[in-house]
Amino acid sequence: MAMKVAVSLISFLLLSAYVAEAQVFNVKKYGAKPNSDISKALLSAWKDACASKSRSQVVVPGGTYKLNEVLFEGPCKAPVDMKVQGTLQANGDHSAFKTDGWVTFQHIDGFSLSGGGTFDGQGAHAWSKVNCHEKRNCGRPPINIRFNYVSNAEVHDITSLNSKNFHINLLGCKSFNIQHISIVTPENSPNTDGIHIGRSNGIKILDTSIKTGDDCISMGDGTHEVDIEKVTCGPGHGISVGSLGKYPNEQPVSGIRVKNCTLRNTMNGVRIKTWPSSPGQSTASDMHFDNILMDNVGNPILIDQEYCPWGQCKLQVPSKVKISNVSFKNIRGTSTTHDAVKLVCSKSLPCENVEIGTIDLKYHGPEGAAKTTCLNIRPKFSGQQNPVTCSKKS
């Protein structure tokens, strides 16, 4: 008992010492006032915190503030925590932005973002004016929060609201945890992916709610070792690997694990999508989807290697992305499309080592019982399948 008391006392003293040494940089001390532009004040607070030799904290207290396009650049001398307790509002006019990021964190090792606050992208004007979801090349409106080459980081207890483009984008990040955040945009907001991950490694997304007009979570090329758990998605387009194969020199994707998630009123469920007529060959492997509840979901289980929206590709040229080592297990619920399970693989590179285990998906539409479509694939089976998967010869 004495030993436990001693250990507790030491822990308390160490924590007290940490708190005493931590420096707090409150934007109010830099002239920030509610209902005004705090861009300069926040950047000044960041600069001082980043220069601190001990762990520091940048604080945006409660209230509503205007914020222009800002870049928080590292490297910093010690880890920095940013605590946003109020609401930050972007300029509603997307043409006022010079880059594709509203709030960008870059080249930082050791960082956290929290505080219960809101990043309001005020995206309604951009949704009606920009049609990047239909055009291959266009001037993209800004992403709410970008993380470029940020490592050993955590984002929790914040809200991203009405982004003009993607809500959160990770590029070149490592050891990055996202937990207990809320992402909200209307169902009809185009290209507003909740969280997009590209060329990043060691990402965890836990206990998060995403309501948006595109993919709740999307994973681009070069993504490795991603764990997604206890995510509620809907409305939106589902949880997607891809799209892949659209650009030259894409990097492999591997180690994707999605489990214990709920998808509700989404256009798609869990899917892997690649473009036909790929400019180069790449791979996507070791991807596993387990214990997923589908509630009123279109295409609950989908491999689509003929992904070609708005006629932007040559559908007759097979995809060059090789898909292998995939499993869909313990997936249940209701489908809004007749094809509850659709596995359409590349003719030139058929899918390999795909396992379907314990599927129970019901369709109550006018076309009869749920069915499956299988093309260029010979999956393995475990447990029971309802509907019977790949009952016709592929």
Rg (CA), the chain: 23
List the catalytic residue out of 94, 156, 237, 338: 237
Contacts 24+ apart (CB under 8 A), 385-388: 385/341, 385/356, 385/358, 385/359, 386/359, 386/360, 386/361, 386/362, 387/340, 387/341, 387/359, 387/361
Q: In sequence order, what are the beta bridge partners of 210?
A: 183, 233
Catalytic residue flag (residue 237):
yes
CA distance 248 to 239: 24
Q: Give 96's DSSP letter.
A: G
Tokens for 388? Answer: 């019977």
Contact between 335 and 298 (Cβ < 8 Å): yes
Peptide bond into 235 cis (omega under 30): yes
* 110 closest CA partner among 159, 146, 153: 153
In angstroms, the CA 2 to CA 21 distance is 29
111 CB-near residues (< 8 Å, 6+ apart): 74, 79, 80, 81, 82, 105, 150, 152, 153, 154
Report the catalytic residues.
Answer: 237
